[in-house]
Amino acid sequence: MSEFFGFINDPTAWVALATLVVMEIVLGIDNLIFISILTNKLPKEQQQFARRLGIGAALILRLGLLLTISIIIGLTAPVFSAFGIDFSWKDIILIAGGLFLVWKATKEIHHTVDTHDSKDNIVGGTVQLTMAGAIFQILLLDLVFSVDSIITAVGMTDEIAIMFIAVIAAVTVMLLAAEPLAKFINDNPTIVMLALSFLLMIGMTLIAEGFHVKVPKGYIYAAMGFSALVEALNMLSRRRKARRAQPH
């Protein structure tokens, strides 16, 4: 146990912990946006359960991957080569997850723009999902985000305790933010399109990383932050116009 918490007296380890907690929270928010959009399509009485199940699965997957750290490290070993690139299991998982995310975000954008597609089960302009369908998709993306999260953690520190603390802290933030974020997305339709565009961008980033094209995360989150700021200004403008239009 003392070896497990041996980093306590090391100042550099505390810096690594703080940095990793922030990184894991950011990666967790990506995961949470997907969970929120998906669960908002379930019947009202099932949404909270599905969100908690999705976040709980994310925690279990992350901690499970940490317990098999040697396997995680092995995921970065080349499996085959194509187009002059050595692909590992990590690359394959990132590409597959990225493709799924791009497909899912594109499909949801289509449903948001064209609500009269007769092929889908649409009730009141909202595409409905079954609980099983939602949970399957959440678990699939939980796996992708978990692998990305743990490989990021392994690349930043050798201390297993730091990784565990960072992962638990990030998932705790996800759990606390789940209900407010889902309600905010549900109450503001324009936010749905913005969130879907974020997922589309994250999916393309995962694919690029799978092909060993390094996209600086700072650029991605700066773009997301700027877009969110513009949307916040638009929302403020719409609310003020609506307030002025109300009879006094």
- CA dist list (Å): 240 to 41, 187, 232: 29, 17, 12
Cβ burial of 210 (10 Å; 0-12, 13-18, 19+) is buried
**Residue with structure tokens 């925690």?**
59
Mean pLDDT of 41-52: 85
**Strand blocks (E) in 174-241:** none
- CA dist list (Å): 202 to 2, 78, 103, 217, 223: 39, 24, 12, 10, 11
pLDDT at res. 157: 66
Q: One-letter amino acid identity for 141?
A: L
pLDDT at res. 167: 81
Q: One-letter amino acid identity for 136?
A: F
Quickly count: other Cβ atoms within 10 Å of residue 239's Cβ: 10
Flag the least confident range among 5-9, 17-21, 240-244. Answer: 5-9
Residue 126 has pLDDT above 50, yes or no: no
Backbone phi and psi for residue 186, each to the nearest 5 degrees, phi listed first: -70, -35
**Residue with structure tokens 């949307």?**
231
Mean pLDDT of 83-103: 84
Could you tell me the two tokens for 167? Answer: 């992962």
**Strand blocks (E) in the chain:** 78-82, 85-88, 122-123, 126-127
Give DSSP secondary structure letters for 39-60: HTTS-HHHHHHHHHHHHHHHHH
**Residue with structure tokens 């099932």?**
46
Could you tell me the two tokens for 201? Answer: 């961008």
Q: One-letter amino acid identity for 166?
A: A
pLDDT at res. 124: 43
